[in-house]
Chain A
C-alpha cells in the first residue's frame, strides 16, 4: 500500500518544529486588572470630557478593555493567543452589554414604581381621579387583566393540549406536518395582528361591542402555539415503555393517554401553561384594540369596556404628567412582579416535578 514518500520530513517553509512547550503567558489576574483599569480610565475620560451620559463612559471603558487586552496579549503572547483573548474579551463585553439593560430596567421600575405602590394603589380604581391628579390605583385593571387572561386560558389550554396530544400520540401524516409548521409560524404572529383579526370579525363584522372577552380571544390566539410547543416537548419526554406497558395491559389508547401519559408530564405542562400566561399577561396591543378601556371597575368581561394592567401603564404614560408617570411605574412594578412570580413558580414546578432520570 505504501506508494512512495521520499520527501524529507520536517515542517515546510523551514518553520521550526515547536519543540518548546512553554509559551509566554500573561498572568492569570491580568484580565481583571485590565478591566478595572479600563473602567477607571473610561470614567476619567468621561469626567474630563464632560460627557453627560454614563452610557458613553461604559462604551469607552469597554472599548479600552478590548483594545488593551489585545495589544498586551499580542506583544507578550503572540498573534494567535491575542486573537483568542480578543474573542474572550469581546464575548465578555457582549454579555455585560446584555446585563446592563436588564439591571437598569429592574432597578428603575422598582425605584420609581415604589413611590405610589401601596395597598391603596392596589385596591382602588381610577374612577374619581383626574389624569393629572395624584391618587387612584389599579384595582379595575387587575380585575380586567385577570379575567381576560383567565378566559384566554379557557380557550387556549384545551385546544393547545389536545393539539399537542394529536401531534405526539397520533400525528404522522400531512396534517400533522402542516399543524407543526403553522404552530411554529403562529408563534411569530405579531400581537397587534391577532388583535386586528378579532377586531375585524367580532367587532366590525359581527357587530359586537368592545369587551374583555374580545381581548381574551385575541390573547388566546397568542397563547395557543406556546401551549402546544411546551406540551409537545413534555409529552415527547414521556418514555415509550410507559405507554407500551399500559397498552400491553389491555388499556385502550385514550385511557392510556389520560391516565398514564398526561399525569407523567403534568409538571412540565403546568410550567408551559404558566409561562404562556406570563407572556400574554403583558400584552398591550390586542387589548388596546379590543377591550378599549375604562377607569371604572367592570367585573363583567362580556359586557363593555374593561381595564387592563398593560393598557393602564400605556395610558398613564400618555397622560404626560408626573402623577401619571408615577402611576405608570407603579403599575409596571405590579405587572413585572406578577410575571416574575409566575415565572419563578413555573420554574419551581418544573424542577420539582421534573421526570427523574436514571442518573
Chain B
C-alpha cells in the first residue's frame, strides 16, 4: 500500500463510560436492569458503528487505491494525464493528479477569497447592523441559500451566470491581462474562475452561519466597554468583536474550504475540463478531484474506477485534514471563551 490509511483510532470500548458522580448515584440501582443494559448497548453500538463507517471508508478506499496504483506506469502525483485505460500508451495505464490538485486548490482559493469577506460582512450585518426585525428573516434567507441543491447551482451557473461573465472577464483581461493570471482568450467562460465564483456562493452560508454564531457570542459587556469609551459602531467591532471572533472566522473559512474542495456536480456542470494546467484562471480548462470523478466515471472500466477511487482517497484525506483542523480550532476556542466567561 502506497498511501497510508487514515484510520481513526479504534477506541477501547469498555472503560469509556466513566459516569459523573450524579450519574453513578442514578445508575446505582438501574445499571443492572436488562432494559438499561440493552439500551446502553444499542446506543453505544451506534456510536461505534459510526466510527466503524469512517474507518471503513478509509480502509476500502485505500484498498482499491492500492489495486489501482500497482499497475500505474505514471507517477501518481506528478503525471499530467488521466489515461487509466492506456489508450495513448499501448494499454499501459498512465494517470496522475497533478492537474486536479492545481485545479482544486485554485478554484477553492478563488472561492475563499470572494466568500470570506462577503460572509463576514453578512455575519456582521446580521449580528450588528441589520434592524432587529430584519435580522431573523435575513438569517433565514442565508439558510435558503444553503438548502439549494448543488445540481441546481450548477445548472444556474452554467446557463445563467457563465454567459454574464464574458464582459467582466474581458475587462479583467484589458487591465490585468499582463499578469498572466487574468488572460482571457474569449469563448465560453467555463473556467476555474467561474467555478470559484459559483463555489463562493455555495460556501457563503456555512461561513456566514459559523461567523455569525461567534459574533453573537461576544459578551455584551465587552461591546459596552468600547461604546462607553466613545467608540463608533465600527470601532466597537474592531476593538471587541473581531478580536474575539478571529479564530471563529478562521475555522468557519476552513469549513467552507472543506465544502469547496469536495463540491462535485456544480463544478462538473460548469467547468469545461481539460487535462492541462493553464496559468490563466479565466480561460477554460483544468479540473478538480470531484469533478474529474463525476465526469470520467460513466466511461471508466473497472480499473478506471479504481484509478478514480485513488484520486478520491486523496480528496478524502485533504478534506479530513481541513475539517479536522477547523473543528479543533472551534473546540479550543470554546475552552478559551469558557475560561473567560
A residues sitting closer than 8 Å to B (CB atoms) are 51-56, 59, 80-81, 83-84, 86-88, 90-95, 97-99, 101-102, 104-105, 108-109, 112, 158-163, 165-167, 169-176, 178-179, 181-194, 196-197, 199-201, 204-205, 221, 224, 228, 244, 247, 252-255, 257, 278-279, 281-285, 288-289, 310, 313-314, 317, 325, 328-329, 332, 335-336, 339-340, 343
Contacts and interface: CB of A to CB of B under 8 A. Distances in A.
A254 B38 contact: yes
What range describes how many residues of B lie at the interface?
35 or more
B56 interface: yes
Interface string B112-129: 000001101110110001
A333 B153 CA distance: 12
Given A185-B323, A186-B50, A193 B35 contact: no
B176 interface: no
A184 B323 contact: yes
Contacts of A173: 15-18
B247 interface: no
A108 B118 CA distance: 23
A189 B269 contact: no
Nearest to A101: B201
Interface string B41-55: 011111111110110
A170 B40 contact: yes
Given A88-B129, A193-B262, A317-B155, A53 B167 contact: yes
Interface string B300-334: 00100110110010011001101110110000000
A102 to B, nearest CB: 5
A286 B305 CA distance: 14
B309 A56 contact: no
A88 B35 contact: no
Given A83-B232, A289-B297, A192 B121 contact: no
Contacts of A159: 46, 49-50
B105 interface: no
B264 interface: yes
Given A174-B11, A190-B290, A329-B155, A196 B308 contact: yes
B223 to A, nearest CB: 15
Interface stretch (B75-83, B86-94, B144-152, B277-285): B144-152
26 contacts: A55-B167, A55-B168, A83-B232, A87-B237, A94-B122, A101-B201, A105-B152, A105-B160, A163-B49, A173-B16, A175-B17, A182-B8, A184-B327, A185-B320, A186-B50, A188-B258, A188-B326, A189-B316, A192-B294, A194-B57, A196-B308, A197-B61, A247-B26, A314-B154, A336-B149, A339-B149
A335 B152 contact: yes
Chain A binding site: helix, strand, loop or mixed by DSSP? helix
A196 B43 CA distance: 28
Contacts of B30: 247, 252-253
Interface in B130-155: 130, 138, 141-145, 147-155
A311 to B, nearest CB: 8
Given A83-B234, A314-B268, 8 more contacts: A51-B167, A166-B40, A186-B50, A191-B264, A285-B264, A314-B269, A339-B149, A343-B143
A187 B323 CA distance: 9
B316 to A, nearest CB: 5
Contacts of B102: none
B47 to A, nearest CB: 4
Given A104-B160, A175-B47, A184-B327, A197 B56 contact: yes
A248 to B, nearest CB: 9
A192 B54 contact: no
B189 to A, nearest CB: 11
Interface centre among A174, A175, A201 (most CB of B within 10 A): A175
B235 A94 contact: no
A352 to B, nearest CB: 16
Given A179-B50, A182-B50, A283-B149, A192 B264 contact: yes
Given A92-B125, A175-B44, A282 B151 contact: yes
A98 B156 CA distance: 15
B167 A105 contact: no
B164 interface: yes
A115 to B, nearest CB: 13
Contacts of B168: 53, 55-56, 59
B315 A193 contact: yes
B17 A185 contact: no
B262 A98 contact: no
Contacts of B49: 159, 163
Contacts of A171: 16-17, 47
B151 A310 contact: yes
Given A166-B44, A170-B44, A200-B64, A182 B54 contact: yes
B156 A108 contact: yes
- Ranked nearest first, the 10 interchain pairs of A and B with the lowest CB-CB distance are A190-B262, A282-B149, A94-B121, A188-B323, A173-B16, A254-B39, A162-B46, A175-B16, A166-B43, A87-B234
Contacts of B20: 172
Contacts of B319: 188-190, 193
B225 interface: no
Contacts of B153: 105
Given A204-B305, A204-B306, A192 B312 contact: yes
Nearest to A279: B147
A225 B10 CA distance: 19
Given A176-B16, A204-B306, A328 B43 contact: no
B272 interface: no
Given A56-B171, A199-B305, A163 B264 contact: no
Contacts of A108: 156, 159-160
Contact of B262 (A158, A160, A192, A199): A192
B71 interface: no
A176 B117 CA distance: 35
A187 B33 CA distance: 35
Contacts of B51: 178-179, 182
Given A196-B309, A284-B264, A109 B167 contact: no
B9 interface: yes
